[in-house]
Amino acid sequence: MISRNNKRLHRKQRVRAKISGNAKRPRLSVYRSLKNIYVQLINDEKGATLASASSLVLGVKPNMEGAAKVGKAMADKCKELKISEIVFDRSGYRYHGRIKALADEMRKEGLKF
> 113 in a domain, yes or no?
no
> 33 in a domain, yes or no?
yes
74: nearest Cα among 35, 26, 33: 26
- What domain range is 104 assigned to? 4-108
End-to-end alpha carbon distance in the chain: 36
Whether pLDDT at 1 is above 90? no
> 77 in a domain, yes or no?
yes
Tell me the whole-structure pTM to 2 decimals.
Answer: 0.91
CATH of the domain at 72: 3.30.420.100
86: nearest Cα among 22, 19, 25, 15: 25
Q: How many residues does the chain have?
A: 113
**pLDDT tens string 74-110:** 999 999 999 999 999 999 999 999 999 999 999 999 9
Q: Please calculate the CA angle 102-60-4 and round it to the nearest 5 degrees.
A: 55
**pLDDT tens string 16-65:** 999 999 989 999 999 999 999 999 999 999 999 999 999 999 999 999 99
Question: How many domains is the chain built from?
Answer: 1
